[in-house]
Amino acid sequence: MSDRFSPVEIVLDANTRSRRVIVGSSLAVPDETQQIDLHYGSQYLFMATVCKGLSKVPYVFTENTAFYWGADSIRNHTPYPISSVNDQFHITGDWTFDPAKGLICWRANLATAELLASLTETTNPSLLFHHYLWALPPNIDAVLIATWDMPIWMPAVNAATAAPAATQYERRKNGRTQVLFSDGKWRTRYGVLVEGNPAETWGDPED
């Protein structure tokens, strides 16, 4: 089976409801060199091993459990810029999926208009996103499995916009993002709706 997505391998500890790394038989807090960066515009496949206190002790999900994952840089804020509902979990051929052994996987689309809006509201090149994985077992309310932080970056070269390389240079002016075109002029990027679908238009050329 060929690879189609950018892989994100993570270990989660249901006991502490957090991301961990495996050190021998123990679960340790990731250090600064083990941070995982994500980028807007890409498609990811999260491959999670969910443990319960020790690396050799899996979290055993109840049969027929559904799942939900989402992430946002702001708490108590909807709609979420990125999320995956149950039909994005365990798609045949993606990865080993065995909830009875704590192994789950899901696809994540980081090319949404909502995510782009969040990232362009700041002049920072990245935002720290709070990720949440929920289990939805039969006949009971949702169960929080883990929460963890991962930054999401705005790429300098973004295939999702289908923009030529000459437009990769950006600046902020009067609270808006401007892009440098190959004629040496800056133009302001505006978000618009075309027949209800997000699109972009450009302002007048400026020096």
Question: The domain containing residue 172 runs over which residues?
Answer: 163-202
Number of domains in the chain: 2
**Residue 140 lies inside a defined structural domain of this protein:** yes
**Residue 158 lies inside a defined structural domain of this protein:** no
Is there a single domain that holds both residue 30 and residue 91? yes
Tell me the C-alpha distance between 71 and 149, whole Å: 9
- Per-residue pLDDT reduced to its tens digit, 110-130: 999 899 888 888 888 899 999
Is there a single domain that holds both residue 122 and residue 194? no
Is there a single domain that holds both residue 103 and residue 21? yes
Is there a single domain that holds both residue 93 and residue 180? no
Q: Which residues are bridge partners to 8 per DSSP?
A: 46
**Residue 1 lies inside a defined structural domain of this protein:** no
- Per-residue pLDDT reduced to its tens digit, 86-99: 999 999 889 988 99
Is there a single domain that holds both residue 39 and residue 73? yes
- Say what the pTM is: 0.76
Distance in angstroms between the alpha carbons of the first and the last residue of the chain = 50
Average pLDDT over all residues of the chain:
88
Tell me the C-alpha distance between 49 and 105, whole Å: 9
The closest alpha carbon to 134, from 77, 53, 71, 43, belongs to: 71
Tell me the C-alpha distance between 99 and 116, whole Å: 32
Is there a single domain that holds both residue 115 and residue 196? no
